Structure 1
Amino acid sequence: MSVATSRHHRSQPEEGLVADIHRIQFEPVGIEMEVGEDEKILDAAFRQGIHLMHGCREGQCSACKSYVLDGEIQMERYSTFACNDAEVAEGYVLLCKSHAYSDCTIELLNFDEDELLGGVPIRTVTTRVAAVDPVTRDIVSLRLTPAEPFEFKPGQYADLTIPGTDEHRSFSMATTPATPDEIEFLIKKYPGGRFSGLLDDGLSVGDELALTGPYGSFTIKDGHVLPVVCIGGGAGMAPILSLLRQLSETGSTRPVRFYYGARTAADLFYLDTIRELGAALTDFEFIACLSESLEGADGIEVEAGNVTEVVDRREAQLGRCEAYLCGPPPMVDAALALLEAHAVPKDQVFYDKFTSPAAG
């Protein structure tokens, strides 16, 4: 086994030359596939209809962490928080950043047997902008109309291509396939952001955007019955709304608690939508967690403090729940630490950690 991490260790094929092809064997599931040296293993899996566990696809979240049993793999730049030096030395890799330079056998540490060969195919569709509406001082609702059906599971995300470039940004869907003519994204604006800057000046109704996906495994699993605790912040509202809509549409009877962290009441939005969804569920409660001020939060249940502090105070039985976390990395990290402190089994924890705003 050889695992190298320098992106310059092995040169890529010259333009016009075909990259060497290697075989990948995934254990313990017994699935095989081919991968070229010029493509990442995770991308090669998607191309062949194999849906491996993944999150950010940028080497920052560890959802695709796997173990190399045999073969030579090298990783491009990645976060050592997702895979530290000791783990790399032992043979762990992030498949979203890994290239194979020989036939390899890889042990999947996290996988969903139903998803592996039965996930929604990843494809690119053309969409047109239907609406661009601010919902808070820094979050915008972007509604798109697809030119053809776009299949996805509630809680997943897609890539939107920045017009006129080959760059893309990833955003979670806030809607479900029940509204096929409209896909909504809730996007946080960052100063200097390439895509978010278009939301102020650059995107108009009728403009064309390419959408690729779906990605992610932040989804409600069929047949699960445990109470649901959702912990969100910022634009992390989007995939949680999608999950709530799914639970409502399917007539779920699971108890649901939704904790949303913000600084002030002015940072809250879609409260009427949340009330409507909650009314359709058997046992639902929404708690706004305000870290700076409780003023102006009339008519809703509010708690003072960071969202994880509030969850810690109110949820004594976290170990008997499924937890869904989505928002800025510091919030997700704090929530994961809280869940670990409460000994919540890892297979009851699902999270989407938004990556650095520097590329927003």
Structure 2
Amino acid sequence: MADTHRINFEPVDIEMEVGEDEKILDAAFRQGIHLMHGCREGQCSACKSYILDGDIQMERYSTFACNDAEVEEGYVLLCRAHAFSDCTIELLNFDEDELLNSAPLQDVETEVVELTEHTHDIVGLKLRAVSPATYDFKSGQYSDLMIPGTDEHRSFSMATTPTNADHVEFLIKKYPGGKFSTLLDDGITVGDKIQLKGPYGNFTLKNGHVLPIVLIGGGAGMAPVLALLRHMSETEDTRRVRFYYGARTVQDLFYLEEIKALGERLADFEFVVALSESTDGADELGVIAESGMVTTVVEAREPELRKTEVYLCGPPPMVDAALELAAQQAVPGDQIFFDKFESPISAE
């Protein structure tokens, strides 16, 4: 059995234990400590921290996330880090209100209860927790789903809120040759069992925040945005909310009726679709439709983006463009929340 060590996080004064055979970020999840994170594969820098004391070694990671000079200075990616002594680590990016206010990591056996084709390449998958019979998470988070018959997983955002106790809904984009998405056409059926692990992610509404909200989504990035809208409707949130969704044509749009209904229950809501290839047919849908990329539309319609909280989820190029726009508009980093699944393990 691997040796265990104590980790002390500063400046929040939180302690936990970690085995030498587990990554520090995973150990935190296991113990209900919600550290900031992103890809969990050493590709981004969301979990970058600083070693104040102790022996830590990292598995393979991207030098774009943590370059050699930073590693030499003492920076570390917690998603790739193993501790080989008691350590003190300074967290560089954290939300003190969220640190101890998240559900511990859970392994859940689920059963497929529904498969729905929303568009030619977006499939809805609803799962019911079987063992255990409940799954605790926050609106906007994501889960890992095991690919049946393998030891591989894919990461997908959840579109449901915790009040939907009878199922968890995922919106999954199909990719040619994708190991999970291929099974949605021929392989996964109602009644099948799928192992789920989670929850992960910081794409959640923060208690006590009052700034207006700008939601930017594309493709299967609809899922966590829909979860936030459902949550805000349930809690009768009174903030100004603007939802911008990027697609190619009207054939790529879905859940329009529910979004309209959710918006009617919010105090100040507007839904705008940005269609990059054609706006033909948009008038018949009864939605505000603009021509162009979603970030271009947001730039034109949100001149005071810096005074909002911005939530982003979608294809990596869209998220990158939106982050660049947020930087140009001087949006503070603690007002930006996003999930960008970019590693080979979670590219679907």
Please classify the TM superposition score into its range, dividing by the shorter chain length: over 0.9
CA offset digits 1:206-257 (Å, max 9, x no partner): 1111111111111000111111000111110000000000000000110100
Q: Which amino acid aligns with 1:216?
A: G
Partner of 2:39: 56
Q: Please say if 1:343 is aligned against 2:330.
A: yes
Q: Distance in 2 between matches of 1:218 and 1:350?
A: 6
In 2, are the aligned partners of 1:36 and 1:100 still within 8 Å (CA)? yes
Instruction: State the TM-score, normalizing by the size of structure 2.
Output: 0.95
Q: Please say if 1:310 is aligned against 2:297.
A: yes
Q: CA deviation at 1:321?
A: 0.4
Q: CA deviation at 1:55?
A: 2.1
Instruction: State the TM-score, normalizing by the size of structure 1.
Output: 0.92
Partner of 2:208: 223
Q: Distance in 1 between matches of 2:320 and 2:124?
A: 26
Q: Which amino acid aligns with 2:287?
A: I
Structure 2: gaps (5+ residues)? none
Give SS of 2:282's match.
coil
Q: Distance in 2 between matches of 1:81 and 1:313?
A: 31
Partner of 2:91: 108
Instruction: Identify which range, 47-56 or 144-153, moves more after superposition.
Output: 47-56
Alignment of 1:114-193 (within 5 A): 114-147=97-130, 148-193=133-178
CA offset digits 1:243-285 (Å, max 9, x no partner): 0000000001101000111111111111111111111111111
Q: CA deviation at 1:337?
A: 1.1
In 2, are the aligned partners of 1:190 and 1:357 still within 8 Å (CA)? no
Q: Which amino acid aligns with 1:175?
A: T
Q: Distance in 2 between matches of 1:52 and 1:149?
A: 23
Give SS of 2:274's match.
strand
Q: CA deviation at 1:116?
A: 1.9
Partner of 2:8: 25
Alignment of 1:1-360 (within 5 A): 18-147=1-130, 148-298=133-283, 299-356=286-343, 360=348
Q: Distance in 2 between matches of 1:167 and 1:180?
A: 27
In 2, are the aligned partners of 1:326 and 1:354 still within 8 Å (CA)? no
In 1, are the aligned partners of 2:33 and 2:104 still within 8 Å (CA)? no
Q: Distance in 2 between matches of 1:116 and 1:314?
A: 34
Q: CA deviation at 1:110?
A: 1.4
Instruction: Identify which range, 349-358 or 241-250, moves more after superposition.
Output: 349-358
Q: Distance in 1 between matches of 2:248 and 2:65?
A: 28
Q: Distance in 1 between matches of 2:228 and 2:193?
A: 27
Give SS of 1:332's match.
helix
Q: CA deviation at 1:144?
A: 1.1
RMSD after superposition: 1.5
Q: CA deviation at 1:80?
A: 2.9
Q: Distance in 2 between matches of 1:20 and 1:144?
A: 37
Paired residues in the alignment total 343
Give SS of 1:131's match.
strand
Give SS of 2:223's match.
helix
Q: Distance in 2 between matches of 1:94 and 1:72?
A: 14
CA offset digits 1:77-113 (Å, max 9, x no partner): 2233322333323322111111122322110011222
Identity %: 71
